[in-house]
């Protein structure tokens, strides 16, 4: 257990908000960060010297998950999803509204908030539906959703296809300082597609979805955000044309932000067979798209890494490829994948990783955290960047086992996750982590 | 004992290969050139069985073959059934019900030896092959492949041409949705043919450059000097949206007429996997004309399927003979 008050003595502490990257102490008192600096006086607090390889970061926030509750508890519950989140190094998640019923009124939002509090693990920020039933026809009571705890609105899974509806949503949310998160995909261009359009789709005989299906709607949304003034956030961006549109919007100071998932910056459609754990929407794209995502992560035009954690029951995935649902889990693999594929391969450094996983998600969703500034809640993700991780779906805390990364050996691990100064997850397989407390 | 002979009549030495290496036939890519030749040679021996008064050999006696046709099919199912019965297999036909995975487990519990599978979705045969111990033959899965069709096409070509290597094979029609096309590209390439694709730009194969084919929308260029003209059915039932404005315009641009066929090589043969849309892909005078080998394809289908069944699951070659 970590005492409170305490002074964490870290060989490396990273917080881009304060411009910190180095050996620093962090004083925790009353569940909040009391001070950061070199050689802080103990003043009666217990010192906790972290192992040399550990890195203290602001708690990571996954701004795009599906917790499936209410209505699809066989896939995931708020409790199992929250457990998966902290085991993956996330102190907070924002959950999409495509539950049953859809989170399109305050009653559902309140239920999610209540269950998340009962689970007592990761913070759970509900995302409300932008339109009633996510049907794309009538705005939800967004003010009431906001009051109940929603941090954004989205019809995720269903693009807001009607341009006027999207315009109205962007205009309306501007009153509440929250973004519209859009799953950009032109439904007519998607058709019955299940994988990226190209050679692999053609050789497997699977219907394709071109990258342009996404890019045309991103271009539209950037224009609509300019017109309406509301902030638009592009969910799970996958196509290089979309990134082009986002960059162009940012150059014109339009309120557009975007996220990318680990599977889209690691895998391509070349990996496709008929394994439905490689079926997700948007689909794995071409090598050029993946390279573009890496460029965007490195140059700052991509704001966040989000998992689009989409658990499904094994029986639902054990179908013909066309019939299986879209989606893969991501909470328990994202951080080791990002360490291995981005940091260790020199695409980005740890400060940039913290921006992508903590600072920017907090900024986009206007939620607490994302920094280690004094006064912030003591939400920390402690990394062991050189410790090995072997992905084992069978040991996931999530109910979902649907990952394309099962069996992968990665360099980089989450050592522990702290919320309000309390260790809610300690990784038993990382040497030295035990000093942070017994595993939850 | 009948001789396994090549079309030139030369008696071959006993083939070094007597079985297929892979357990299943899911894709034409499962076959090496050597295996393809083995299948074609074996089909020649099998063809002879169909000419006998008693058209039956005991090669698959005691073997249970399940024809799992989950998408309507008359031609292919009939062809497989005749092939199975000529080889004395115990056959049964099943269509539909539970999920494919559960059906596979149910079937598995009854320990069949072979599953012959037709399914509307690509990759369905792979799913069955993963779950079942039985060998699986892909009899057409979605838009993916139809390997026995490509084999019977190669068999038909071989009967008319001294060698498949170096032939210009022009495939015309709905390239996007055709499983026959995908198997044929793999198989024809394995045998050394030069494959040309032609069709409207809306029905082109995405990524065709990576398939190693020549792709063009210019029918005259595609037909010029072709040794084989293979037509693909314009599959209206698979069309989502409109890919071309009218049948009339399609036929104007891509329909094979006797006049257009003159651009092909002098001994060009015309093939079609059937069922044909007369007046859409092909004019009737071509379909029924001297270049057409379309009915031969149907007849060859039985021999090819006998060969595949036998090479995957049959008893030793000597025992095929009565």
pLDDT in tens, A332-366: 999 999 999 999 999 999 999 999 999 999 999 99
DSSP 8-state symbol, B145: B
The predicted model gives A2-10 an average pLDDT of 93
Q: Is residue A371 part of a domain?
A: no
Same domain, yes or no: A188 and A97 = yes
Using the predicted structure, report yes or no on whether residue B316 has a pLDDT greater than 80: no
CB contact set of A428 (below 8 Å; sequence gap of 6+): A434, A439
CATH number at residue A79: 3.20.20.140
B146 and A CB contact within 8 Å: no
pLDDT band at A436 (very low <50, low <70, confident <90, very high): confident
Chain A positions in Cβ-Cβ contact with residue B179 (cut-off 8 Å):
205
**Which of B232, B228, B244, B237 is CA-nearest to residue B291?**
B228
Q: Residues B165-198: pLDDT tens digits?
A: 999 999 999 999 999 999 999 999 999 999 999 9
Q: State the pLDDT at residue B312.
A: 94
Q: State the pLDDT at residue B17.
A: 73
Average pLDDT, chain B: 90
Range in A10-14, A56-60, B6-10 with the lowest mean pLDDT: B6-10
Q: State the pLDDT at residue A439.
A: 42
Q: Residues B200-225: pLDDT tens digits?
A: 999 999 988 999 999 999 999 999 99
Residue B240: closest C-alpha in chain A = A191
Element (H, E) at B91: strand B90-94
Q: Is residue A1 part of a domain?
A: no
Same domain, yes or no: A137 and A122 = yes
Q: Got the DSSP string for A194-260?
A: -EESSHHHHHHT--EE-HHHHHHHHHHHHHHHHHH---EEE-S---HHHHHHHHHHHHTT--EEEEE
Using the predicted structure, report yes or no on whether residue B93 has a pLDDT greater than 80: yes
Q: Which of A325, A342, A365 is the last residue of a domain?
A: A365
Element (H, E) at A119: helix A106-119
pLDDT band at A75 (very low <50, low <70, confident <90, very high): very high
Query: Could you give the CA distance from residue B128 to residue B105 in angstroms, rounded to a whole number?
Result: 9
Using the predicted structure, report yes or no on whether residue B245 has a pLDDT greater than 90: no
Q: State the pLDDT at residue A420.
A: 97
Q: State the pLDDT at residue B179.
A: 96
Q: Residues A200-256: pLDDT tens digits?
A: 999 999 999 999 999 999 999 999 999 999 999 999 999 999 999 999 999 999 999
Q: Residues A281-311: pLDDT tens digits?
A: 999 999 999 999 999 999 999 999 999 999 9
pLDDT band at B317 (very low <50, low <70, confident <90, very high): very low
Task: Give the best residue of A202, A213, A322 to mutate against chain B (max B CB count within 10 A).
Answer: A202
Q: State the pLDDT at residue B9.
A: 47
B122 and A CB contact within 8 Å: yes
SS3 (DSSP) at A406: coil
Average pLDDT, chain A: 97
Q: Is A308 a catalytic residue?
A: yes
Q: Which of A342, A365, A388 is the last residue of a domain?
A: A365
Chain A positions in Cβ-Cβ contact with residue B182 (cut-off 8 Å):
202-203, 205
CATH number at residue A52: 2.30.40.10
- Its domain, for residue A247, covers 60-365
Using the predicted structure, report yes or no on whether residue B6 has a pLDDT greater than 70: no
The predicted model gives B239-262 an average pLDDT of 87
Same domain, yes or no: A336 and A222 = yes
Q: State the pLDDT at residue B16.
A: 62
Domain map (residue ranges) of chain B: 28-142+301-320, 147-291
Distances in whole angstroms, Cα of residue B165 to Cα of each of A38, B39, B146, B195: 76, 17, 21, 11
The CATH label, of 3.40.50.720, 3.40.718.10, 3.40.50.1370, 3.30.1050.10, for the domain at B28-142+301-320 is 3.40.50.1370
pLDDT band at A159 (very low <50, low <70, confident <90, very high): very high
Q: State the pLDDT at residue A126.
A: 98
pTM confidence score: 0.93
- Number of folded domains that form chain A: 2
Paired residues of A37 in beta bridges = A25
Paired residues of B114 in beta bridges = B65, B135
Using the predicted structure, report yes or no on whether residue A431 has a pLDDT greater than 60: yes
Across the interface, of B127, B143, B207, the residue whose CB is closest to A320 is B127
Using the predicted structure, report yes or no on whether residue A96 has a pLDDT greater than 90: yes
Q: Which of A332, A365, A398 is the last residue of a domain?
A: A365
Q: State the pLDDT at residue B319.
A: 47
Same domain, yes or no: A275 and A417 = no
Using the predicted structure, report yes or no on whether residue B15 has a pLDDT greater than 60: no
Same domain, yes or no: A422 and A295 = no
Using the predicted structure, report yes or no on whether residue A402 has a pLDDT greater than 60: yes
Q: ipTM for the complex?
A: 0.89
Q: What CATH topology corresponds to B147-291? A: Rossmann fold (3.40.50)
Chain B positions in Cβ-Cβ contact with residue A207 (cut-off 8 Å):
143
């Amino acid at each position: 257990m970590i005492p409170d008050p305490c002074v964490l003595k870290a060989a490396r502490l990273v917080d881009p908000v304060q411009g910190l990257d180095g050996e620093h102490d962090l004083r925790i008192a009353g569940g909040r960060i009391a001070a950061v600096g070199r050689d802080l006086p103990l003043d009666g607090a217990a010192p906790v010297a972290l192992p040399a390889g550990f890195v203290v970061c602001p708690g990571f926030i996954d701004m795009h998950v599906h917790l499936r509750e209410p209505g699809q508890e066989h896939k995931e519950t708020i409790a199992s999803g929250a457990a998966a989140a902290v085991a993956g190094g996330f102190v907070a998640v924002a959950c999409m509204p495509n539950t049953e019923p859809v989170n399109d009124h305050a009653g559902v939002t309140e239920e999610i908030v209540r269950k998340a509090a009962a689970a007592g693990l990761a913070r759970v920020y509900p995302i409300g539906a932008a339109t009633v039933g996510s049907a794309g026809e009538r705005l939800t009571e967004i003010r009431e959703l906001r009051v109940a705890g929603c941090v954004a609105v989205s019809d995720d899974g269903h693009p807001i296809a009607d341009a006027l509806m999207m315009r109205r949503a962007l205009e309306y949310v501007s009153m509440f300082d929250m973004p519209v998160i859009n799953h950009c995909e032109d439904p007519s261009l998607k058709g019955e597609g299940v994988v990226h359009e190209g050679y692999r789709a053609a050789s497997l005989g699977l219907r394709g979805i071109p990258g342009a299906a996404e890019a045309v709607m991103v271009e539209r949304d950037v224009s609509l955000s300019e017109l309406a003034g509301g902030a638009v956030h592009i969910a799970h961006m996958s196509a290089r044309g979309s990134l082009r549109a986002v960059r162009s919007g940012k150059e014109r100071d339009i309120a557009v932000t975007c996220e990318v998932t680990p599977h889209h910056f690691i895998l391509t459609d070349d990996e496709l067979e008929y394994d439905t754990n490689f079926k997700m929407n948007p689909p794995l794209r071409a090598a050029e798209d993946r390279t573009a995502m890496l460029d965007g992560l490195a140059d700052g035009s991509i704001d966040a890494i989000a998992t689009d954690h989409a658990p499904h029951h094994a029986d639902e995935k054990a179908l013909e490829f066309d019939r299986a649902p879209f989606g893969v889990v991501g909470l328990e693999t994202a951080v080791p994948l990002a360490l291995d594929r981005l940091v260790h391969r020199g695409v980005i450094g740890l400060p940039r990783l913290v921006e992508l996983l903590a600072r920017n998600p907090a900024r986009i969703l206007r939620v607490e955290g994302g920094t280690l500034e004094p006064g912030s809640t003591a939400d920390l993700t402690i990394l062991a960047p050189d410790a090995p991780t072997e992905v084992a779906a069978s040991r996931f805390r999530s109910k979902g086992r649907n990952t394309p990364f099962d069996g992968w050996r990665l360099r980089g691990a989450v050592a522990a996750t702290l919320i309000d100064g309390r260790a809610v997850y300690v990784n038993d397989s990382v040497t030295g982590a035990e000093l942070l407390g017994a595993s939850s | 004992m009948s001789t396994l002979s090549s079309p030139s009549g030369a008696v071959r030495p006993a083939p070094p290969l007597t079985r297929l290496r892979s357990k299943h036939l899911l894709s034409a890519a499962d076959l090496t050139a050597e295996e393809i030749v083995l299948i074609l040679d074996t089909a020649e021996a099998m063809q002879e069985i169909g000419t006998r008064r008693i058209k039956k050999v005991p090669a698959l006696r005691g073997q249970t073959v399940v024809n799992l046709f989950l998408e309507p099919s008359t031609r292919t199912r009939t062809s497989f059934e005749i092939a199975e019965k000529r080889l004395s297999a115990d056959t049964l036909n099943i269509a539909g019900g539970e999920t494919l995975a559960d059906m596979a487990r149910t079937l598995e519990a009854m320990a069949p030896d072979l599953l012959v599978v037709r399914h509307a979705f690509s990759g369905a045969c792979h799913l069955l092959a993963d779950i079942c111990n039985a060998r699986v033959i892909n009899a057409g899965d979605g838009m993916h492949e139809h390997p026995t069709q490509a084999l019977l096409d190669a068999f038909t070509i071989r009967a008319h041409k001294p060698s498949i290597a170096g032939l210009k094979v022009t495939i015309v029609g709905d390239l996007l949705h055709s499983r026959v096309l995908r198997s044929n590209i793999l198989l024809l390439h394995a045998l050394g043919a030069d494959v040309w694709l032609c069709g409207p730009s809306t029905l082109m194969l995405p990524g065709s450059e990576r398939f190693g084919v020549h792709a063009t929308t210019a029918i005259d260029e595609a037909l010029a000097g072709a040794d084989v003209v293979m037509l693909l059915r314009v599959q209206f039932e698979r069309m989502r949206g409109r890919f071309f404005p009218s049948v009339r315009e399609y036929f104007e641009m891509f329909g094979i007429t006797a006049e257009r066929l003159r651009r092909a090589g002098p001994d060009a043969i015309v093939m079609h996997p059937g069922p044909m849309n007369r007046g859409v892909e092909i004019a009737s005078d071509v379909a029924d004309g001297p270049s057409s080998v379309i009915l031969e394809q149907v007849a060859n289908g039985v021999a090819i399927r006998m060969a595949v069944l036998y090479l995957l699951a049959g008893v030793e070659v000597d025992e095929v003979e009565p």
